[in-house]
Structure 1
């Protein structure tokens, strides 16, 4: 069973039909929407500030979400895919974005709607990633614009797959 821990008077709120892996850790001021999946080894640390996650979001294995005390929060929109071992620290990720495996998103960065952050990219503090664009590298730089429909289709496929994967675990526990 996932570790869900209250701290500083905040208790995590978990939406309906949301899968929490057995060793996921959700602490403090965290709100997770409906139809999400929080995978193995993931840590959502809302101990020093808030983490807000929309609907249909998948946060894959080994990812860590944290903030700066009194200075930054995390906001994740709907239908966002967060790849394996991603670090999000006090940033905003808009609807339909995809964060590639091992990427790092730092404080006050904004990842625009439908944007794609390449695997291993480092998005520096205060970076504004344009909607529908691909960023890659360390530090992450603009690579090109993406076809909005193609990006949406790809990300929706990933989100749907993760919703299906989560259902396998639900079936096993029944």
Structure 2
């Protein structure tokens, strides 16, 4: 149960129910959600659980068996390339961008090439801030991908006294 430290009682209850539905009564299952970055990564205090959760999210659809999507992705890519050729484009990207603001894959690449250095600089500054928080918390490790969301939330709480988890119920959209 300590592996679930940081989750709300409702989230723990949902994990227990997910386990029960799979015949794992008395255990807990954190179901994967889209996108790859799971919201629980910002809450789980157990670093090992965060690592396992991110690894499971990243490997979704490529583990073999009934839910392996690799062949499907290849088929979709092949069909998109074929459609692009039939419509007179060199690639799927060229067809998609032709009527968009960018107009071409080259324009998109150029824009990203201009943005990437600034984004990388910002990420390095944020990484350093997160590492300072890890060290302040007595952590004896280097920041890893599975730590990023958790320590971003820690920095928000410490620096700005903001707890986004406490605010979440006020910003939920009705699902109906």
Q: TM-score, with normalisation over the residues of structure 1?
A: 0.27
Higher strand share: 1
Q: TM-score, with normalisation over the residues of structure 2?
A: 0.27
- Higher CA-based Rg: 2
Structure possessing the higher relative contact order (Cα contacts under 8 Å, 6 or more residues apart):
2
Higher helix share: 2
